[in-house]
């Protein structure tokens, strides 16, 4: 294995518009791999895991690079983690997403890596997935003929697998509206901070006085896909938040996940450590939700 | 088939012919003779191939040269003054003994430049956070952090 070079030649196309990209995709389908930041794809190509005959680069399509706040938040898939961090509405209101972008690997990867690339790679450990799940993210997928909108939960199918069909691409990520009564937080545990996560978790809570009105919890790297922990959420909804209740929820999260042993951790450790992470993240999200 | 690209490298305009699979790092080192950026891990873990692309840090061993057509690239060679003098960050690295084998140094210094350009007086935590993607295997982080801190202290606020 030589990671010094890309061994296989390929055709490289750089459309300027979404229409041009979709047209090219519809004509070449399986032969094409879409490249955004390239931080995952180029590594896979270097180690010979994939060798696509053609790369379609999105980097010149400025219509895929934006963050617009109107009712909720609409984000172009080509937006980088660094650009998301610099967006005031994200750092102020979508705290869990802001924290996740800071937790992504390194400053260099945050500059290069894109939100869409992170999702389309289909990794159960994708840092952006848990926060997008707790803000009830939706994704817009387009091919040359039509568009469809899926919830992010429907988008993830298995490790490395998404609902994207050949010829289709992700064109927008949409989050629901949040207000000052929503508090959210994200935590990630890796061996060192630049690593992929062993476990990641995001929590969003809508508070009304002393009650938890809404609660969403999502976890990453502990199941075949990034997932919502709905049973755990239901324990908190409508309740007064107390230490004993948070303790109960954290045990439920540990029950609800289906982790595996892999290079980064063991199933046993993930089930143990997720309890502590759930406790801390729920507490933090609760404190951040204005009473 | 080779493609023509135009880049501004360390302030100099360059027109180059590259294959789609050519990585920016190899084009810098082999076509332009700029050997400051280093090949380390090749998979985005070590940061020794770091260069600045339009002022922001990227990994040149994971960047297609063809994809940066029209951009401005700064390598460690670009930090020298027109009279050949060292950049204050380079001076500070020398003064603090923040260089041992030197392999990580170009990446470290470019990360320091990127940080100080945006945040002239970072805390130690912010410095460590910013260089977390740059590995030094001579265990010199303490001196590196001190070197960066010193530049931020001596710079006029």
Flag whether A3 is in a domain. Answer: no
Mutate to test the interface with A, among B4, B24, B51, B67 (most CBs of A within 10 A): B67
Domain final position from A145, A175, A205: A175
The CATH number of the domain holding residue A230 is 3.30.390.50
CATH number of the domain where residue A44 is located: 3.30.43.10
Interstrand relation of A54-57 and A11-13 (parallel, antiparallel or unpaired): parallel
**A158, burial (CB in 10 Å: exposed 0-12, middle 13-18, buried 19+):** exposed
Q: Find the residue in A nearest to B19 (Cα).
A: A9
Q: Does the beta-carbon distance from B42 to A194 stay under 8 Å? A: no
Interface membership of A290 toward B (CB under 8 Å)? no
What is the distance between the alpha carbons of residues A35 and A117, in angstroms, rounded to a whole number? 8
On whether the pTM is more than 0.90, the answer is yes
The pair of three-digit structure tokens given for residue A61, joined into one six-digit string: 């399509």
Is residue A235, in this structure, part of any structural domain at all?
yes
DSSP state of B87: P
Asked whether residue A83 falls in the same domain as residue A114, the answer is: yes
- Give the model confidence (pLDDT) of A240-258 as tens digits: 999 999 999 999 999 999 9
Judged against a pLDDT cut of 70, whether residue A291 lies above it is answered with: no
Q: Is A6 on the interface with B (CB under 8 A)?
A: yes
Cβ within 8 Å, pair A107-B133: yes
Q: Please give, rounded to a whole number of angstroms, the shortest distance from the CA of A99 to a CA of chain B.
A: 14
Q: How many separate domains does chain A show?
A: 3
Q: CA–CA separation, A160 vs A158, rounded Å?
A: 6
What rounded mean pLDDT belongs to chain A? 96
* pLDDT attached to residue B157: 46
How are the residues of chain A apportioned to helix, strand and coil, as percentages rounded to the nearest 5? 35, 25, 40
Q: Distance (Å) from the C-alpha of residue B40 to the closest C-alpha of chain A?
A: 9
What distance lies between CA A288 and its chain's CA centroid? 22
Q: Does domain B88-154 have CATH number 1.10.3720.10?
A: no
In angstroms, the CA A12 to CA B45 distance is 26
User: Would you state the structure tokens that stand for residue A15, as one six-digit string?
Assistant: 């459309």
**Burial of residue A149, with CB atoms counted within 10 A of its CB: 0-12 exposed, 13-18 middle, 19 or more buried:** exposed
Q: What is the pLDDT of residues A85-135, one digit of tens each?
A: 999 999 999 999 999 999 999 999 999 999 999 999 999 999 999 999 999
Domain limit, last residue, from A107, A142, A175: A175
A158-167 pLDDT, tens digit each? 999 999 999 9
The answer to whether B53 and B71 are in contact (CB under 8 A) is yes
Place of tokens 């209101």: A93
Claim to verify: residue A161 and residue A130 sit in the same structural domain:
yes
Look up the CATH number of domain B3-77.
3.10.20.30
Q: Could you identify the residue written with the tokens 């995001």?
A: A202
- The β-bridge partners of B3 are B18
ipTM, interface predicted TM-score of the complex:
0.96
- Taking contacts as CB-CB distances below 8 angstroms, the residues of chain A near B67 are 14, 35, 38, 57, 59
Quote the crossing angle between the two packed helices B105-118 and B88-95, to the nearest 10°: 120
Cβ distance A55 to B63 less than 8 Å, yes or no, reads: no
- Quick check: A202 and A217 in contact, CB under 8 A? yes
Q: Do A37 and A106 fall within a single domain?
A: no
Parse chain B into domains and list their residue ranges.
3-77, 88-154
Q: Beta partners for A51?
A: none
CB proximity A107 to B under 8 Å: yes
The answer for residues whose C-beta is within 8 angstroms of residue A288's C-beta and 6 or more apart is: A95, A183, A184, A185
Residue A6 lies in a domain: no
DSSP class of residue A123 equals: -
Closest CA to B134 of B105, B113, B114, B102: B105
Say if residue A236 is in the same domain as residue A275.
yes
Domain range for A83 is: 62-175
Reply yes or no on whether the pLDDT at B98 is more than 80: yes
CA atoms of A77 and A63, how far apart (whole Å)? 10
**CA pair distance A194, A64, nearest whole angstrom:** 27
Asked whether residue A281 is assigned to any structural domain, the reply reads yes
What's the average model confidence in pLDDT over B84-98? Answer: 96
φ/ψ of residue A45, rounded to 5: -70, -35
Helix (H) or strand (E) holding A254, with range, is helix A243-256
Dihedral, CA of residue A279, residue A280, residue A281 and residue A283, to nearest 10: 80
Nearest partner of A104 among A78, A82, A136, A137, judged by Cα? A82
CA distance B95 to B110: 17
Residue B141 at interface with chain A, using a CB cutoff of 8 Å? no
- Mean pLDDT within B19-34: 98
Q: Is residue A1 part of a domain?
A: no
- Report the pLDDT value the prediction gives residue A180, as an integer from 0 to 100: 86
Domain boundary among A107, A140, A175: A175
Same domain, A199 and A274: yes
A15 close contact with B: CB closer than 8 A: no
Q: How far apart are CA A149 and CA A154, in angstroms?
A: 10
Strands of the A67-70 sheet, one edge to the other: A67-70, A72-75, A169-175, A138-142, A147-151
Query: Given a cut of 80, is residue B139 above it in pLDDT?
Result: no
Task: Supply the CATH number for residue A82's domain.
Answer: 3.30.465.10
A281 interfaces chain B, CB cutoff of 8 Å:
no
């Amino acid at each position: 294995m030589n990671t010094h070079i890309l061994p296989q030649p390929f055709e490289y196309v750089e459309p300027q518009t979404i229409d041009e990209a979709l047209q090219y995709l519809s004509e070449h389908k399986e032969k094409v791999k879409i490249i955004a930041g390239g931080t995952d794809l180029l590594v896979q190509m270097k180690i010979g895991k994939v060798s696509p005959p053609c790369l379609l680069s999105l980097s010149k399509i400025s219509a895929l690079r934006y963050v617009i706040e109107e009712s909720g938040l609409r984000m172009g898939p080509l937006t980088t983690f660094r650009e998301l961090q610099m967006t005031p509405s994200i750092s102020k209101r979508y705290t869990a997403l802001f924290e996740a972008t800071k937790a992504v690997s390194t400053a260099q990867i945050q500059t290069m890596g894109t939100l869409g690339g992170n999702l389309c790679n289909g990794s159960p450990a994708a840092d952006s997935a848990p926060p997008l799940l707790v803000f009830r993210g939706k994704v817009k997928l387009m091919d040359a003929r039509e568009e469809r909108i899926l919830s992010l939960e429907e988008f993830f199918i298995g490790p490395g697998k998404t609902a994207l069909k050949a010829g289709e691409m992700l064109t927008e990520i949409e989050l629901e509206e949040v207000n000052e009564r929503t508090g959210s937080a994200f935590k990630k545990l890796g061996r060192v901070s630049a690593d992929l996560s062993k476990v990641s978790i995001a929590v969003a809570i809508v508070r009304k006085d002393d009650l938890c009105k809404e609660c969403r919890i999502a976890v990453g790297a502990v199941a075949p896909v990034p997932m919502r922990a709905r049973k755990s959420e239901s324990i908190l909804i409508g309740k007064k938040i107390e230490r004993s209740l948070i303790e109960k929820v954290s045990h439920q999260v540990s029950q609800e996940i289906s982790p595996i042993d892999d290079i980064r951790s063991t199933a046993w450790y993930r089930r143990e450590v997720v309890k502590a992470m759930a406790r801390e993240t729920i507490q933090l999200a609760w404190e951040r939700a204005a009473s | 088939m080779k493609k023509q690209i135009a880049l501004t490298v360390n302030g100099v305009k360059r027109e180059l012919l590259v294959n789609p699979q050519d990585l920016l790092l190899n084009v810098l080192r082999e076509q332009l003779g700029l050997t400051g950026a280093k090949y380390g891990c090749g998979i985005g873990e070590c940061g020794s191939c770091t260069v600045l692309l339009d002022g922001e840090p990227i990994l040149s061993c994971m960047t297609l040269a063809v994809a940066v057509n029209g951009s401005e690239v700064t390598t460690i060679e670009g930090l020298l003054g027109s009279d050949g003098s060292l950049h204050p960050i380079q001076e500070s690295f020398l003064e603090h003994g923040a260089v041992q084998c030197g392999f990580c140094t170009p990446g470290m210094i470019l990360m320091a430049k990127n940080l100080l350009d945006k945040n002239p007086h970072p805390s130690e935590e912010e410095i460590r956070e910013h260089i977390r993607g740059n590995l030094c295997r001579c265990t010199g982080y303490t001196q590196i952090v001190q070197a960066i801190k010193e530049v931020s202290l001596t710079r006029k606020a």
